[in-house]
Amino acid sequence: MNKSLIVIGVALTLSACATGPAKVDTVREEELSTDFVAEGLKVTSKNCGAIGKMFGRTCEIVSIESTSTAPSNGGTTNNRKNAMDAACSYAMANVAHWMGERTQSFRTVERTGTSKELSESQETESSDRDIGRGESSNRQNSNDTTILVTNTVRRSSERFLQGWQPIKQDVVGKQEVSCTMGWSRKNTNLMKQARDL
């Protein structure tokens, strides 16, 4: 009889330990998805190394590729098209910032303070000798100081980019697309010839 009670007690203890507290999803437990393609810029050049300089060759850029991604926020064809347009625009923006950007920094410190003082006094007197005379006083001070520090950095770039075209467009995630914009010296030379016709 005692053995069966011990077995039942052990079984109940093990089941209670195995159950444990229920897991609750909270904001702190959320993890950012790692399924994405990072933006990148690839520049191909020729005659820019030590050998090119040794023979007096001109260093020049042959081609540039810029890749960027954008979320589609949905799986429809319209969402994919809008996301692809955004990804290609981001890729071109990366090129413009790589070529040069204007950076402005603004730092402001603002301090405001308020102070309030309240006082109240009261005196009471009764004809009853047993109660006698009573006084009360109440005084309050309230001080509130707020300091606001603002640091703003603005980065802007404006370029006229020509000869660029999408060379690769992919769906890289469940709701994410990738666009690679490319430029080549050959295509630029062909465009110049076409304009001269």
- Residue-wise pLDDT for 124-171, tens only, equals 666 666 666 666 777 778 888 899 999 999 999 999 998 899 999 999
DSSP string, 68-112: EEEE-SSSSHHHHHHHHHHHHHHHHHHHHHHH--EEEEEEEEEEE
**Residue 108 near residue 99 (C-beta atoms within 8 A):** no
Q: Does residue 12 lie within any of the structural domains?
A: no
Q: Does residue 7 lie within any of the structural domains?
A: no
Q: Which candidate, 183, 115, 169, 163, places its Cα nearest to that of 143?
A: 115
SS3 43: strand
What's the average model confidence in pLDDT over 172-182?
A: 91
Residue 156 sits at φ, ψ, to 5 deg, of: -135, 150
Is residue 177's pLDDT more than 90? yes
Residue 168 sits at φ, ψ, to 5 deg, of: -160, 130
Q: Does residue 114 lie within any of the structural domains?
A: yes
Tell me how many domains the chain contains. 1
Q: Does residue 45 lie within any of the structural domains?
A: yes
Domain holding 128, by residue range, is: 35-196
Angular region, 183: left φ>0, alpha ψ -120 to 50, beta rest: beta
- Residue-wise pLDDT for 12-69, tens only, equals 555 555 555 555 455 555 555 555 556 789 999 888 877 766 667 788 888 999 999 9
Q: Does residue 187 lie within any of the structural domains?
A: yes
Residue 171: is it exposed, middle or buried by C-beta count within 10 angstroms (0-12/13-18/19+)? middle
Q: Which residues of 111-133 are buried (b: 16+ CB within 10 A; e: fewer)?
A: eeeeeeeeeeeeeeeeeeeeeee
Flag whether the pTM goes above 0.85.
no
Q: Which distant-in-sequence residues (6+ apart) come within 8 Å of 162 by Cβ?
A: 188, 191
Q: Which residue(s) pair with 141 in the sheet?
A: 117
